């Protein structure tokens, strides 16, 4: 009897459910009972963090610094000098690129003073005209990916210029152009180090997992404390974010190398450095360049968040537009960001997939055709800009630079459209909104909050126990314990409710639509392209349409999350179904299965591990969106994190809150990953 029970997992689940319901019934809300809520033992932790950080920044290890302005030695703490140093370097690089793009005085004059430049107008170096940059982008696209990429790059750049978003776009771009290479260099270094040294890799792996799940918000506060506010702070926060995927992909790429390649390098007499630079990294080129692609995408995804700590550019514009509910402007800015994202994504992917070509036999013009083309474009663009000076003598030189806000704008069109939708569908939208909130969301939220902590733990650890044994149960319990011991357990429950409802909807939608689309190659290709495209969009883009339709409510957040989080569910379902081995499909056909039987008994079980990983990703996406949704206005952990951003003493709070969110994600990740691995082993898919 006991043995039957141990073998049938669903019986165990039923027992767990019964225990859970009973616990819910028996334990009543009470201030003192530990079974209802655990005491907030870690309450003092945020304060401790605050104190340690301020000590580190403002008091620890003073060193003598010569201050040229007052011409005296001063005592300054080491850490703050160090961080200020890094800040200045990064700021310098960003400004340098900006001047190149946007023009201005400082390019030549960086090393001399303002006065000299004003006195000598010939020393001013204007930025590149937009025509030159657009042409350059088109040439770059052509060299990497042929005509279609050239058209995409050229068109996007022109769009940005013509619609008057040039200045903020170039500001954003310069920011990406500094953050990305730094992340790539750091990522490569750590990736190689982890590859060489097993112990370093063992340390890196959990850090990388955490980095994937801790919300971006939480990094902003410590960065602000250590580095101040401004473009450099945004860049540094972006670097912290973008480095983990680079490390991961470098490690992956190096590990995928067939051992013979390394051996042949060794037997050719390479020392360690030669082996790394001439053999390993060039052969792992594709995965490393995909890492670069991921870095660029992360940088763009951080655009709005970086603007919260002072980065200039499209991010801050978008934030302001959203705050003022100027949806039309927000749409235009959103399109710019998306275009930049798509162009950079396609360019870097084309670079990753490009095969080296042999060219030593070609003539001079053939070998250098791209630089020559760019030279031609450069000259033509400058000539146009010069001519423009005469065509537009009094106003703005449109062939040189379309100033911010003076370009063609369709904002009014979108705004009118939004207003029309609002007027026409107001009642049905409002009705739907109210129904959803009153009949679905509020009850679920209330039931989550009515769970005694003992019941929550029992459920979570029980699932862990059934799926993976005692180790999984304890890990999950550990993660939950951390949250329970802070004072924010209830808020965490609200985050959990939002996230679970959206994951259920996204997961279900993704699996159903994915299954339907996987039936036919045309729809498969379409849905995968859809996923690729929508995944390039930074996640906050989704807030724009929903806020427009549903205002500041839980519904907006829910729908935004669902749209965003469905993407991995879709993709992994399609990929999983397509990767069922051919021989199995043939065996099924020869046994005479119907379509439904095939789906239920062959395709679903075989693709289950992959789909489970997809649901894992869905959870991660949903969690990250929950925090962004806080910008609309919810009352969960995200809201608190947002609040702590503006609080000078919010460092400790922000960090701990971030770890709480991460713990939710890590607990679910643990369960899903263990389950998927088990099924994979059982199916022999390793």
Interacting residues toward other proteins by CB under 8 A? 258, 260-261, 263-264, 266-271, 274, 278-279, 282-283, 285, 355-356, 358, 360-361
- Indicate if the alpha-carbon torsion angle 111, 112, 114, 117 is positive or negative: negative
Which residue number, 49 or 266, has a Cβ lying nearer to other proteins?
266
Residues 567 and 531: beta-carbon distance below 8 Å: yes
Q: Which residues contact 664 (CB under 8 A, 6 or more apart)?
A: 479, 483, 492, 495, 496, 499, 623
Which residue number, 361 or 423, has a Cβ lying nearer to other proteins?
361
Which residue number, 108 or 270, has a Cβ lying nearer to other proteins?
270
Shortest reach from residue 518's CB to other proteins, in Å: 31
Q: Tell me the backbone φ, ψ of residue 109, rounded to 5 degrees.
A: -90, 0
Which residue number, 266 or 372, has a Cβ lying nearer to other proteins?
266
Which residue number, 188 or 454, has a Cβ lying nearer to other proteins?
188
Distance CA 54, CA 80 (A): 10
Shortest reach from residue 79's CB to other proteins, in Å: 39
Find the farthest-apart pair of alpha carbons in the chain and give their distance in angstroms, rounded: 95
Which residue number, 362 or 438, has a Cβ lying nearer to other proteins?
362
Beta strands per DSSP E along 40-97: 62-67, 72-77
397: left (phi over 0), alpha (psi -120 to 50) or beta: beta
Beta pairing partners, 66:
73
What is the dihedral angle through the alpha carbons of 147, 149, 154, 158, rounded to the nearest 10 degrees?
A: 130
Distance CA 438, CA 447 (A): 13
Shortest reach from residue 181's CB to other proteins, in Å: 21
Which residue number, 68 or 258, has a Cβ lying nearer to other proteins?
258
Altogether, the residues listed in the chain come to a count of 686
First to last CA, the chain: 33
Shortest reach from residue 261's CB to other proteins, in Å: 5
Distance CA 503, CA 333 (A): 29
Closest CA to 571 of 605, 540, 535: 535
Which residue number, 49 or 261, has a Cβ lying nearer to other proteins?
261
Sequential DSSP letters for 514-564: HHHHTTSHHHHHHHHHHHHHHHHS-GGGGHHHHHHHH-SSHHHHHHHHHHH
Which residue number, 356 or 594, has a Cβ lying nearer to other proteins?
356
Shortest reach from residue 271's CB to other proteins, in Å: 6
Distance CA 347, CA 176 (A): 14
Shortest reach from residue 275's CB to other proteins, in Å: 9
Which residue number, 39 or 282, has a Cβ lying nearer to other proteins?
282
* Tokens describing residue 274: 């030669």
Residues 216 and 305: beta-carbon distance below 8 Å: yes
Shortest reach from residue 289's CB to other proteins, in Å: 12
Q: Which residues contact 184 (CB under 8 A, 6 or more apart)?
A: 246, 291, 292, 295
Which residue number, 262 or 474, has a Cβ lying nearer to other proteins?
262
Shortest reach from residue 250's CB to other proteins, in Å: 17
Shortest reach from residue 139's CB to other proteins, in Å: 24
- Indicate if the alpha-carbon torsion angle 526, 532, 533, 538 is positive or negative: positive
Distance CA 498, CA 492 (A): 10
Which residue number, 362 or 600, has a Cβ lying nearer to other proteins?
362
* Tokens describing residue 383: 């000539």
* Tokens describing residue 174: 């310069």
Residues 474 and 454: beta-carbon distance below 8 Å: no
Which residue number, 167 or 201, has a Cβ lying nearer to other proteins?
201
Q: What is the 3-state secondary structure (H, E, C) of 580-643?
A: CCHHHHHHHHHHCCCHHHHHHHHHHHHHHHHHHHHHHHHHHHHHHHHHHHCCCCCCCHHHHHHH
Shortest reach from residue 360's CB to other proteins, in Å: 8
Q: Tell me the backbone φ, ψ of residue 65, rounded to 5 degrees.
A: -125, 135
Shortest reach from residue 270's CB to other proteins, in Å: 5
Distance CA 419, CA 429 (A): 13
Which residue number, 264 or 323, has a Cβ lying nearer to other proteins?
264
Distance CA 501, CA 480 (A): 19
Shortest reach from residue 264's CB to other proteins, in Å: 4
Helix (H) or strand (E) holding 680: helix 651-683
Which residue number, 266 or 421, has a Cβ lying nearer to other proteins?
266
Which residue number, 263 or 416, has a Cβ lying nearer to other proteins?
263
Closest CA to 231 of 98, 321, 126: 98
Distance CA 13, CA 392 (A): 75
Distance CA 685, CA 181 (A): 38
Shortest reach from residue 279's CB to other proteins, in Å: 7
* Tokens describing residue 65: 């610094």
Which residue number, 260 or 394, has a Cβ lying nearer to other proteins?
260
Residue 126, SS3 per DSSP:
strand
Shortest reach from residue 618's CB to other proteins, in Å: 36
Residues 243 and 183: beta-carbon distance below 8 Å: yes
* Tokens describing residue 429: 């939208």
Instruction: Check residue 44 and report its DSSP letter.
Output: G
């Amino acid at each position: 009897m006991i043995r039957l029970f141990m073998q049938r997992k669903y019986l165990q689940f039923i027992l767990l459910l019964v225990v859970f319901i009973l616990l819910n019934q028996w334990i009543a809300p009470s201030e003192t009972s530990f079974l209802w809520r655990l005491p907030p033992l870690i309450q003092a932790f945020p304060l401790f963090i605050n104190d340690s950080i301020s000590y580190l920044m403002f008091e620890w290890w003073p060193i003598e610094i010569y201050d040229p302005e007052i011409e005296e030695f001063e005592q300054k703490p080491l850490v703050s000098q160090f961080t200020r140093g890094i800040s200045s370097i990064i700021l310098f690089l960003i400004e340098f690129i900006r001047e190149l793009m946007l023009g201005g005085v400082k390019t030549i004059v960086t090393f001399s003073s303002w006065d000299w430049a004003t006195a000598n107008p010939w020393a001013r170096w204007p930025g590149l005209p937009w025509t030159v940059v657009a042409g350059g982008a088109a040439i770059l696209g052509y060299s990497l990916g042929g005509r279609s990429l050239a058209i995409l790059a050229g068109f996007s750049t022109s769009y940005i210029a013509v619609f008057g978003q040039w200045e903020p776009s170039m500001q954003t771009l310069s920011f990406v152009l500094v953050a990305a290479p730094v992340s790539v260099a750091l990522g490569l270094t750590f990736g190689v180090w982890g590859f060489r040294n097993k112990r370093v890799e063992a340390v890196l792996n959990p850090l990388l997992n955490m980095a994937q799940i801790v919300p971006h918000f939480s990094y902003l506060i410590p960065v602000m404390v250590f580095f101040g506010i401004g473009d450099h702070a945004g860049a540094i926060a972006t670097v912290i974010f973008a480095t983990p995927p680079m490390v991961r992909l470098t490690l992956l790429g190096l590990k995928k190398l067939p051992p013979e390649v390394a051996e042949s390098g060794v037997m050719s007499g390479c020392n360690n450095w030669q082996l790394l630079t001439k053999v390993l990294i060039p052969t792992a080129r594709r995965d490393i360049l995909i890492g670069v692609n991921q870095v660029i995408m992360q940088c763009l995804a951080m655009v709005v968040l970086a603007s919260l700590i002072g980065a200039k550019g499209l991010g801050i514009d978008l934030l302001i537009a959203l705050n003022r509910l100027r949806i039309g402007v927000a749409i235009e800015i959103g399109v710019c960001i998306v275009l930049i994202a798509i162009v950079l994504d396609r360019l870097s992917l084309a670079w990753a997939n490009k095969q080296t070509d042999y060219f030593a036999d070609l003539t001079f013009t053939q070998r250098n055709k791209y630089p020559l083309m760019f030279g031609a474009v450069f000259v033509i663009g400058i000539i146009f800009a010069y001519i423009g000076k005469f065509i537009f003598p009094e106003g703005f030189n449109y062939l040189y630079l379309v100033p911010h806000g003076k370009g063609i704008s369709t904002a009014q069109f979108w705004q009118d459209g939004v207003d029309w939708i609002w007027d026409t569908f107001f009642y049905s939208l409002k009705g739907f909104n109210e129904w959803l909130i009153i009949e679905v969301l509020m009850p679920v939220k209330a039931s989550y909050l009515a769970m005694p902590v003992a019941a929550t733990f029992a459920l979570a650890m029980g699932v862990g126990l059934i799926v993976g044994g005692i180790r999984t149960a304890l890990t999950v319990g550990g993660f939950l314990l951390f949250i329970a011991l802070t004072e924010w357990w209830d808020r965490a429950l609200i985050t959990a409710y939002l996230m679970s409802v959206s994951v259920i909807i996204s997961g279900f939608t993704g699996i159903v639509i994915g299954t339907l689309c996987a039936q036919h190659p045309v729809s498969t290709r379409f849905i995968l392209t859809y996923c690729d495209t929508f995944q390039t969009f930074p996640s906050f883009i989704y807030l724009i349409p929903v806020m427009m339709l549903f205002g500041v409510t839980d519904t907006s957040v829910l729908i935004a999350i669902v749209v965003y989080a469905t993407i991995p569910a879709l993709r992994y379902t399609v990929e999983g179904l397509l990767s069922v081995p051919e021989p199995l499909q043939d065996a099924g056909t020869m046994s005479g299965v119907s379509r439904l039987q095939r789906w239920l008994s062959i395709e679903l079980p075989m693709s289950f591990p992959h789909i489970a990983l997809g649901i894992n990703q869905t959870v991660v996406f949903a969690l990250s969106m929950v925090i962004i949704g806080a910008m609309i206005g919810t009352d969960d952990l995200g809201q608190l994190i947002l609040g702590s951003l503006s609080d000078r003493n919010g460092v400790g709070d922000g960090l701990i809150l971030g770890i709480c969110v991460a713990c939710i994600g890590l607990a679910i990740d643990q369960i899903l990953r263990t389950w998927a691995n088990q099924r994979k082993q059982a199916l022999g898919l390793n």
